[in-house]
Structure 1
């Protein structure tokens, strides 16, 4: 249900509940939460049961509720992503300067990749159209392949079932089965490849950026104008992207 201000009422209530628990130094009973938020007991019980099932709150032996450590993990990830473009830029500049290509850093946002940093070779006579804040369907980019491939299996299968595989070029993968096979090949190869699937003039290579736990939090890519002419060239560029992404992962985990 949508409230008068246009907000989703259930989401407002969840936010208020989490904020309440974050402000209290000790766990709270359900009735205390209901009274503090002026909510019916049944509504409060449903919110708490859902949040507990999703591991956002924990209920102790005394039937009192507190925030879970999962929220702290999410907050830590958010802080890492704020710093990530700055941490990644030196490795991206080095890779762009060495190869002449454009380096991008992106995260997965639903069914799109969201570009959060870009380094373009200054000597290039051609400029790519992407910029920080650009969103592109994940299936047509090497960045998206890395990020979708890193999802837990159940989430990945749901993503594949729900995604619209729009054709961008004659090389674009246009169905879930073919995309799943491409992800399997990516895992074997060690890096993702966009074989002119977004634009007929661009070949892309990407690798994962991981946090201190090993979780993939972003992807780093090299957009290379023109098609690589042989397998050896592709392998070499892919290896350089993997190394650059590993350098960023190290910087992220040791900051």
Structure 2
């Protein structure tokens, strides 16, 4: 449950689709195998990986062998392939060194404790948002299942609307961004047309914050505000508070927007 990420095995379409598998060669194929491998935290056999990538077994075996040599993949006691310790070391070292993560951690902790809900920081990546930091409150039996590095469609998340509203300033820009592909419907509340999204982004620009009223997941709502770490006019990302609707309806989150901004402003003053 969350304005946070969908589980890794349902996050994206498999990279080895019929149309893509035949186009991947050399390093591109190795990287595609690495991305697919990340979908199997409990490990995957060569046969399963071959089927998922829709490529010949020798080709996939060569790619996995290359990844194992570099430490980016490994084989467990069952002979299944998993992500390697070297990849995890690089990922965590890079994450710990991210300026946004370090600079916003205090604010996220304050927000989580003040509202007793989950606080996220995320950035826009194409048509999705990527969660860079997350803090859960100490109390509460029910918590969000979002994960750092997880993704969700931008059009149905509060963070996505905040960041898109700064980029898609006209109806034509929204239509071009939506393109010919239908927007994914995550819940009955999800806005799936360019016109609906355009109106939502206009409202977001006017009020200065974005909301997700059970648009990404039934029973979960969210409010997000932009964060300006590098520029006073271009947001680096956005911070959100995600809550179960029975615990905090969307109206309660909207009523708390000034308090959320105060925490961020206070944290920025401390960092200065």
Is the pair's TM-score, using the shorter chain for normalization, greater than 0.5? Answer: yes
Aligned residues: 181
User: Structure 2 vs 1, CA of residues 164 and 4 (structure 1 numbering), >3 Å: closer, same or farther?
Assistant: closer
2:87 paired with 1:87:
no
User: Structure 2 vs 1, CA of residues 97 and 197 (structure 1 numbering), >3 Å: closer, same or farther?
Assistant: same
What is the alpha-carbon distance in structure 1 between the residues aligned to residue 186 and residue 125 of structure 2? 20
User: Structure 2 vs 1, CA of residues 239 and 167 (structure 1 numbering), >3 Å: closer, same or farther?
Assistant: same
The secondary structure found in structure 2 opposite 1:216 is coil
Report the equivalent of 2:260. 241
Q: 2:238 aligns with which of 203, 213, 219?
A: 219
User: 1:188-232 deviations in whole A, cap 9, x for unaligned?
Assistant: 22210100111111110001011342211111000011154574x
2:125 paired with 1:109:
yes
The secondary structure found in structure 1 opposite 2:217 is coil
2:145 paired with 1:129:
yes
2:157 paired with 1:141:
yes
User: Structure 2 vs 1, CA of residues 118 and 185 (structure 1 numbering), >3 Å: closer, same or farther?
Assistant: same
2:224 paired with 1:206:
yes
Report the equivalent of 2:209. 191
Q: CA deviation at 1:248?
A: 5.5
The secondary structure found in structure 2 opposite 1:92 is helix
Structure label with greater radius of gyration? 1
User: Contact 1:149–1:156 (CA<8 Å) still a contact in 2?
Assistant: no
User: Contact 1:108–1:114 (CA<8 Å) still a contact in 2?
Assistant: yes
Normalised to the residue count of structure 1, the TM-score between the two structures is: 0.62
Report the equivalent of 2:167. 151
User: Contact 1:203–1:226 (CA<8 Å) still a contact in 2?
Assistant: yes
What is the alpha-carbon distance in structure 2 between the residues aligned to residue 115 and residue 250 of structure 1? 24
Report the equivalent of 1:166. 184
2:197 paired with 1:179:
yes
Point out where structure 1 has 5 or more consecutive residues left out of the alignment: 8-77
Name the structure, 1 or 2, with higher relative contact order (CA <8 Å, separation 6+): 2
User: Contact 2:122–2:131 (CA<8 Å) still a contact in 1?
Assistant: yes
